Structure 1
Amino acid sequence: MASIAAAYDLGFINRSEALNRLKKTIDTLFKLKKWHGIPYNWYDAETLSPIWGNFISSVDAGWYAAGLIVARNAFPELYENISKLIDMMEWDKLYDASVKRLYVGYDSIKKHYTSGHYDYLAIESRMASIIGIGSGKIPSEHWYALKRDMVSYKNISFLWGWGAGLFIYYFPGIFLDERGSFISRSTINVTIAQIIYSEDHGYPVWGFSPCDIPGGGYGMKFDVVTPHASTLAIIYFPEKVYLNLKMLEEMGVRTSLGFKDSISMVSGRVDEDFLALDQGMILLSIANYLNSSIWKYCMKDVIIENALKLINEYNIPNEVLNAYNFIFNNVTDAVLNLIMEEKLPISAMDKLLKAKLLFGSGNYNLALKYARECLTLIESYNVSETKLFVKDEIERAARNIDNARKENRLSFIDKAESLYNDAKKLYDENNFVSAYVKARIARFYASISKVTPVTKKTKMFLSVVNKVIRYPEEAVIKGNISPPISADILIERKVNNLWKGVKIVSINGNFTFTLKLNPGNYSFRAVFYGLDKYLPCISNTINIVVLKGVRSLNITGFKKKATVGENITFSGEISPMEEIENITIKITDPSKKVAEKVVKIDENGFFKCIFKVNIKGVWQIEVVVNETEKYSSLKEVYKINVSEIEKPETISSNIQTLLTIILIVILAIVILLVYRRSKIRSETLNKLLYF
């Protein structure tokens, strides 16, 4: 959503197209199932059902809300609709008041929070904290409970931020204008630390952050450079970023589609993927640098304004702000202008970097002193210094190439020589920046060039035990490589006509491994990248179909017969219960009236439904478990015969008459007997009196 605003501001799309894209996005967001108004982390793009564990992430909820905030201010036509999505987010549900910090997230299937919290200030969760506080759903004391531990590299101090990847420090600053703040000073210093780290290790480029790793995997390594990391720093170091991106372009990282995700400083291998997240960060960073696109929409929002009133770090003294503007705007622009003119003011650039380091360390007066000296050097710029510097770089490249040839390290030598020749030509044309870039990359390729050994061809074959399996069954894949060697191979999956590494497998001749796959159609191959005297090879492609899993339903409480007015307990167990929290039970009475009940499943898969049968006849109970990403739907029908309460049968009228007569006769006999007995007693009494 923020990228739509940036694309509109930069003129890539018109307002009509921007609104059309945004409306579709907002319409979809309203359809998504949420947890207390907060989206799950991942959804199936076709069914819109939550997938991959139904996890809710605090940090990603922050980015979601930040995108909505930008969108509602960039496109007021949609303000009211977007605000509904923002207002429904219950931030307090992700807040642990006992430690005054945000949980990392919540697992809605296991129904428990993560054990860890986002506990540092200088990390990407800062955005979620700001929005939670500004919305009034998290107390401001949370902000001051965040850790502010300091670390350093070569006496360059900065806030600790979970591994020192630039994404972690910079991403909140894409939305929040943090320029000149205490947080920005730490971000400036960690960037300088990365620049110096690269120089110390002989790398021509810098920018370390989580990314796709060439050869497979995702993460952060300090020998893998990703273009988005340095682009994030463009707001503070445009002069450094410009040179860095030009070098990455010479290394084959830039294409017509933008920058590929990373390049290894050890092997020189370029990752072939384009990650949407990283491309988005590049776009938003450039938009902010050119016209403050994202800042101007985010910073005026009422939620952000409310939060910043409660947070000291964003109250920047005027003298600090003035120093920042002079160093990072006036002086930096002067240096950048010379670089753009193919001049390379080396001494001035060194002074400027020192000024920025001092500013980041809070030494504003000394920072201003170095910045003024930098400005003086720019005003008295002498091209002879640049020529000597670039000439020296070209000569160093030549020496590296010669050494590589002498040592028979020829794997990158052709590329190095081509760049070297281009550098000499550009130098003669006084294009010193381009000449320096090519010479520096030539020197790099010559230094990492490897010996090309006498090699043997290899061949690899894959087969799958069962081409069609049903989730959660694992796919069993067998293979062999000849000659039979011990090595690591990369298993790749074909996605959108691109091969993407998914698993590294250690092999020794014949091998077997398993893959746990979600339902779908898959194509795999194995790649051996070569080893010692063995050439690389790629296996055949195998195809696997994974069908959706089947659930079982075990009814433990159920009776087939009942009487009118009876309460029926219908209970059972669903297995497995993965991906579901409840089931639907449809109860149809004899009159065809349907009552639908949504019944929750407990953590063990058990459920219970109680209902009353009040009509005689056949009742139908249908249990419905909806289809999910991994499992097919399940429907089972049960029937109950309901009858009236049994009563004594009615006696026929003839029998009633007969019984009446019998009763009358019996009564007459009784009366007669009583009369006769009474008469006898009377006669006896008279006789006694007579005597």
Structure 2
Amino acid sequence: MPTPLTSPMHRRTFLTGSLAAGALATAAPGAGAAPRRPAPELRTWAQQTWRCLDALTVPATGLAADDIGADLSTASRGHQTSPTNIGCGLWSTVAARELGLLARGEAKRRLARTLQSIAGLERHEQSGMYYNWYDPADGRKLTEFPTSGEVVKPFLSSVDNGWLAAALLVVERAEPSLRRQARDLRCRMDFGFYWDAAENAPGGQLRGGFWDVDPDEDAAVVGNYRGGDPVWYTGHHYGAFNTEPRVASYLGIAAGQIPPEHYWGPVRTFPDDSCDYSWTETKPQGSWRTYGGVRVFEGALPYRGKLVVPTWGGSMFEALMVPLLVPEDEWGPRSWRRNHPLYVQCQIEHGMQEAGYGYWGFSPSNDPAGGYREYGVDQLGLDGPGYTSDEERTTVDQAFEGCRPGSPAPTSYGDGVVTPHASFLALRYAPDQAVQNLRNLAADFDCTTDGGFLDAIAVRSGRVSDRFLALDQGMVMASLGNALGGDVLRRHVGAEFSRTLRPLMQQEVFATRG
């Protein structure tokens, strides 16, 4: 049973000084280098995580299901999958091969089978994009969810298709014998279909996605940025830059489907000169800079004496899933190289000092109380409400100077929910702290099985999620593949993106301060 007491938290208080304070110092020399001497547990965790991903995958199709039970039984495997889940399965197979967990011939066979299934999936013909939900057993597009019977509207997400396209790029580069198949599938995907050139011009922004039949949604916007039959776009754009949808932006820029100036379109923060943006977390600090003729407000939010470029909700995977595949911290010495380790440090400080959980790492995951929920650090998000780090949804209502007052800071936090995949995302930037946090979680809670770390732990009640999610295990496997396999996934994607994206990232100067 999980350990339902506060004693582990008290035993971990020593981390708030020596280890947490050293996070940036550890990461600074290589600014993103993996540990020189990887902790011995990393290989064990990789073996366990691959066992879980193998169990998630339907042998007949090679498609990874969305989730599976703690016992990894076939009966507990979910009956739906998404483009992101399929992508996680692809890059995890490549990582497992590079780590010697899967023979090269078997890896090739599995990859080929998955590509064959992807080729048979129903997709939106004009854009080449894939729908959000399929049955992993036969690849059929879902029109209702298997367990609830709820109607599934035919939605095509920009970010989910981004992760699938990125995974196809990994396969294309990693397995020469499958290069043509993977490339043909990827190159049919047009990310310009999501690009709204008029939004925050001149860079434009991406829509969250579209439906190809009328969804009866009030906020839907009818149109087609490429011409042709109308679709129903989401009412929202992905307007915040430091969030995971930027992978779709990168793919579109690299493919020539979206102009390079789109890199400057999503906001770092909104400008600080208007109360129009006072619905956001707090007043940013920063200044205007011009890159290639495009003016960008380089803003950052204050957090405990630091300035950090926020994500949308304050979670780890928004900030750090993309650099699992794209070497942002290498290409952006005055932007991403500063912000990624700083963001990790802020998450550590929240868990260890501000909230006093004794553990850290907050990111969307399966909820120990049931269902799926976003977890994060409220003040690290651009959105006013942000994601919270505990089950009780304890928020911090900061003031926006000159526009609205704030409220007193919380005096305590509730049942903090720590997500192990967040520590794996931090492994590059704070290796010692990440490994120690995972060791502590494994020692203090019944949160590991033959499939690795379960999805989330409520550290005060001791409740542990009883599921594994393919998305979260895919992030863990990518992190371990890079740490133990010489950045195998980043090498493959970076080779494709370097010519178009590296010059953009090299220019930028974030308003960060450690």
Q: TM-score, normalised by structure 2?
A: 0.60
The question of 1:209 aligning with 2:209 is answered no
1:186/1:360 contact within 8 Å kept: no
CA offset digits 1:667-688 (Å, max 9, x no partner)? xxxxxxxxxxxxxxxxxxxxxx
Match of 1:299 among 494, 500, 508: 494
Match of 1:185 among 322, 338, 346: 338
Match of 1:129 among 243, 249, 253: 249
CA offset digits 1:622-665 (Å, max 9, x no partner)? xxxxxxxxxxxxxxxxxxxxxxxxxxxxxxxxxxxxxxxxxxxx
1:161/1:168 contact within 8 Å kept: yes
For structure 2, the 5+ residue unaligned runs are 1-89, 143-151, 215-230, 270-299, 376-387, 390-415
Alignment partner, residue 196 of structure 1 = 349
Measured after TM superposition, the shift of residue 120 of structure 1 is: 1.4
Secondary structure of the corresponding residue to residue 34 of structure 1: coil
The question of 1:112 aligning with 2:251 is answered no
Measured after TM superposition, the shift of residue 236 of structure 1 is: 0.8
- Compared CA separation, residues 54 and 314, structure 1 to 2 (3 A): farther
1:178/1:314 contact within 8 Å kept: no
Secondary structure of the corresponding residue to residue 139 of structure 2: coil
Match of 1:140 among 254, 260, 264: 260
- Compared CA separation, residues 283 and 126, structure 1 to 2 (3 A): same
2:329/2:340 contact within 8 Å kept: no
Secondary structure of the corresponding residue to residue 206 of structure 2: strand
Secondary structure of the corresponding residue to residue 136 of structure 1: coil
The separation in 1 between residues aligned to 2:302 and 2:91, in whole angstroms, is 33
CA offset digits 1:1-55 (Å, max 9, x no partner)? 1111100000000110110000001001111111121111111234423222211
The separation in 1 between residues aligned to 2:467 and 2:345, in whole angstroms, is 27
Measured after TM superposition, the shift of residue 217 of structure 1 is: 2.2
- Compared CA separation, residues 55 and 11, structure 1 to 2 (3 A): same
Alignment partner, residue 103 of structure 2 = 14
CA offset digits 1:317-372 (Å, max 9, x no partner)? 9xxxxxxxxxxxxxxxxxxxxxxxxxxxxxxxxxxxxxxxxx99467xxxxxxxxx
Measured after TM superposition, the shift of residue 262 of structure 1 is: 0.6
Alignment partner, residue 459 of structure 2 = 265
Measured after TM superposition, the shift of residue 146 of structure 1 is: 1.2
2:454/2:465 contact within 8 Å kept: yes
2:340/2:429 contact within 8 Å kept: no
The separation in 2 between residues aligned to 1:27 and 1:265, in whole angstroms, is 43
Match of 1:152 among 302, 306, 312: 302
Q: Which has the larger radius of gyration?
A: 1
Query: Aligned partner of 1:101: which letter?
Result: Q
2:308/2:342 contact within 8 Å kept: yes
The separation in 2 between residues aligned to 1:256 and 1:169, in whole angstroms, is 29
Alignment partner, residue 49 of structure 1 = 140
5 Å matches for 1:535-546? none
The question of 1:101 aligning with 2:205 is answered yes
The separation in 2 between residues aligned to 1:314 and 1:124, in whole angstroms, is 20
The separation in 2 between residues aligned to 1:158 and 1:50, in whole angstroms, is 41
The separation in 1 between residues aligned to 2:137 and 2:98, in whole angstroms, is 30
The separation in 1 between residues aligned to 2:166 and 2:136, in whole angstroms, is 22
Alignment partner, residue 78 of structure 1 = 178
2:306/2:513 contact within 8 Å kept: no
Secondary structure of the corresponding residue to residue 299 of structure 1: helix
Alignment partner, residue 458 of structure 1 = none
- Compared CA separation, residues 86 and 95, structure 1 to 2 (3 A): same
- Compared CA separation, residues 360 and 245, structure 1 to 2 (3 A): farther
CA offset digits 1:539-568 (Å, max 9, x no partner)? xxxxxxxxxxxxxxxxxxxxxxxxxxxxxx
1:140/1:310 contact within 8 Å kept: no
1:122/1:183 contact within 8 Å kept: no
Query: Aligned partner of 1:98: which letter?
Result: A
The separation in 2 between residues aligned to 1:258 and 1:277, in whole angstroms, is 14
1:106/1:112 contact within 8 Å kept: yes
Q: Calculate percent identity across the aligned residue pairs.
A: 34
Measured after TM superposition, the shift of residue 316 of structure 1 is: 8.9
Measured after TM superposition, the shift of residue 101 of structure 1 is: 0.7
The question of 1:288 aligning with 2:482 is answered yes
Measured after TM superposition, the shift of residue 204 of structure 1 is: 1.7
The separation in 2 between residues aligned to 1:316 and 1:145, in whole angstroms, is 13
5 Å matches for 1:99-498? 99=199, 100-110=204-214, 111-149=231-269, 150-180=300-330, 181=332, 182-200=335-353, 201-219=355-373, 220=375, 221-222=388-389, 223-250=416-443, 251-290=445-484, 291-301=486-496, 304-311=497-504, 313-314=505-506, 361=512
The separation in 2 between residues aligned to 1:6 and 1:252, in whole angstroms, is 27
Alignment partner, residue 121 of structure 2 = 32
Measured after TM superposition, the shift of residue 125 of structure 1 is: 0.9
The separation in 2 between residues aligned to 1:204 and 1:62, in whole angstroms, is 35
The separation in 1 between residues aligned to 2:338 and 2:236, in whole angstroms, is 27
Measured after TM superposition, the shift of residue 257 of structure 1 is: 1.5
Q: TM-score, normalised by structure 1?
A: 0.45
Measured after TM superposition, the shift of residue 248 of structure 1 is: 0.8
Secondary structure of the corresponding residue to residue 38 of structure 1: coil
Alignment partner, residue 220 of structure 2 = none
The separation in 1 between residues aligned to 2:462 and 2:95, in whole angstroms, is 33
The separation in 1 between residues aligned to 2:431 and 2:248, in whole angstroms, is 28
Query: Aligned partner of 2:419: which letter?
Result: T
Query: Aligned partner of 1:34: which letter?
Result: R
The separation in 2 between residues aligned to 1:129 and 1:17, in whole angstroms, is 33
CA offset digits 1:155-194 (Å, max 9, x no partner)? 2221121111000000110100122531232221121111
CA offset digits 1:400-419 (Å, max 9, x no partner)? xxxxxxxxxxxxxxxxxxxx
2:155/2:209 contact within 8 Å kept: yes
CA offset digits 1:116-162 (Å, max 9, x no partner)? 00111100011110110110111112111110112122122211211
Query: Aligned partner of 1:211: which letter?
Result: S
1:226/1:263 contact within 8 Å kept: yes
- Compared CA separation, residues 190 and 360, structure 1 to 2 (3 A): farther
CA offset digits 1:522-543 (Å, max 9, x no partner)? xxxxxxxxxxxxxxxxxxxxxx
Measured after TM superposition, the shift of residue 267 of structure 1 is: 1.2
Alignment partner, residue 164 of structure 2 = 64
Measured after TM superposition, the shift of residue 307 of structure 1 is: 2.4
1:157/1:186 contact within 8 Å kept: no
Give the root-mean-square deviation of aligned CA atoms. Answer: 1.9
- Compared CA separation, residues 106 and 288, structure 1 to 2 (3 A): same
Measured after TM superposition, the shift of residue 77 of structure 1 is: 0.8
Measured after TM superposition, the shift of residue 293 of structure 1 is: 1.1
1:260/1:271 contact within 8 Å kept: yes
1:235/1:289 contact within 8 Å kept: yes
The separation in 2 between residues aligned to 1:3 and 1:103, in whole angstroms, is 28
Measured after TM superposition, the shift of residue 215 of structure 1 is: 1.5
CA offset digits 1:381-407 (Å, max 9, x no partner)? xxxxxxxxxxxxxxxxxxxxxxxxxxx
